[in-house]
Structure 1
């Protein structure tokens, strides 16, 4: 009597697992387009915060292309989108997506805007899973910390400046949370280095993100 009961319970558990897996997959299919739409809206919002609309006259969201950074200055060797701002067909800035896994909790995705002269236009966080109340202060709705990068540039002779103050650099950390600001500071620095190495290539690559 025990074996049939065990078999029946195992069958019910298996069937339940299959139904749940199918339901999750179905929900994922339904919600994926909405998630992508929200990500695009957030990206456009961040673009307009990094570089003001009166500084360019092209459709930045469609003036973009993917790069693969084998040196992993942009966080890893996965494709990263680069958006180019132009005015009167002249390059104004490159807006580079970068990431870091050196935060406290998971991946931090960034959008780093860099003017053609190598000066930072602005930095915004596209997404993160840092600790609420501590690491999430990298968001502009939590603090102004991320705004401190605007106007900065990277010089090899002053590399030591690109650290948090606890490590002898010039950037503040958060009270009780050094790991997150350190990770973001290093990611922004490395993105500047990437820009310096690939500036000509970035401003001469034909956009293809708008192609269907």
Structure 2
């Protein structure tokens, strides 16, 4: 038979447990409410940030659709350097294909992967590139990012704005290697990796551009995204 002291201790333990449960439920509900309340703002901010990058490489005159809504998912693709599914953004003008923006990764940067977004017109011509993530040496190889480039009038990355369609494979190298692309003295590994990656991406887009535009994606009616390899 329980003593009064044991009964009191049991009652206190029960009340404490109920209080803890109440606090857990309350704070869980509070966190869920905060998430639901801030989610639209977070998504809107992420969308605006992504659109800001696209606007740097995709001229507004080339599209009248919403490229962030007209998307396609690609599986890992060696030609693009991507090792995980990646999004393709599709631009259209009056319903006709006008440009593609794809993820490109240069795996051989001086300090590792260099992640980029590259825009191509309907013919597969490179019309713009932006570096979105890298670990290149500050003050040396990081000039591939226009925000770090000391030449504000003509950032290095702007060499990819409207690259001539008839550029040969040999021309797709830095000048030190006999090509047409400039590289700042003392930092050749980084631009060499970028030029090589964009060239390979261009070849992929030229080969598959019709399929990439034709396949249904987020703007299609039957499936939200496609993950089969372009043919």
- Does the alignment reach a TM-score above 0.5? yes
**Separation of aligned partners in 2, 1:188 and 1:85:** 19
Does residue 1:151 correspond to 2:162, yes or no? yes
**Separation of aligned partners in 2, 1:175 and 1:145:** 12
Q: Contact 2:81 / 2:104 at 8 angstroms: preserved in 1?
A: yes
**Separation of aligned partners in 1, 2:107 and 2:50:** 20
* Aligned residue runs from structure 1 range 1-212, under 5 A: 40-70=47-77, 72-143=78-149, 144-153=155-164, 158-208=168-218
Q: Contact 1:75 / 1:99 at 8 angstroms: preserved in 2?
A: yes
**Separation of aligned partners in 2, 1:103 and 1:89:** 38
Structure 1 residue ranges, 4+ long, deviating more than 6 angstroms after superposition: 33-38
Q: Contact 2:173 / 2:180 at 8 angstroms: preserved in 1?
A: yes
Greater gyration radius: 2
Q: Contact 1:112 / 1:120 at 8 angstroms: preserved in 2?
A: yes
Shift of 1:134: 1.3
Shift of 1:160: 0.4
Q: Contact 1:114 / 1:192 at 8 angstroms: preserved in 2?
A: yes
Change (3 A) 1:109 1:39: farther
Deviation per CA, 1:159-203, whole angstroms, max 9, x where unpaired? 000011111111111221111100000111011000011011111
Q: Contact 1:43 / 1:126 at 8 angstroms: preserved in 2?
A: no
- What TM-score does the superposition give when structure 2 sets the normalisation length? 0.70
Q: Contact 2:99 / 2:121 at 8 angstroms: preserved in 1?
A: yes
- What TM-score does the superposition give when structure 1 sets the normalisation length? 0.76
**Separation of aligned partners in 2, 1:83 and 1:51:** 10
Relative to its length, the structure with more helix (as a share) is: 1
**Separation of aligned partners in 1, 2:201 and 2:139:** 27
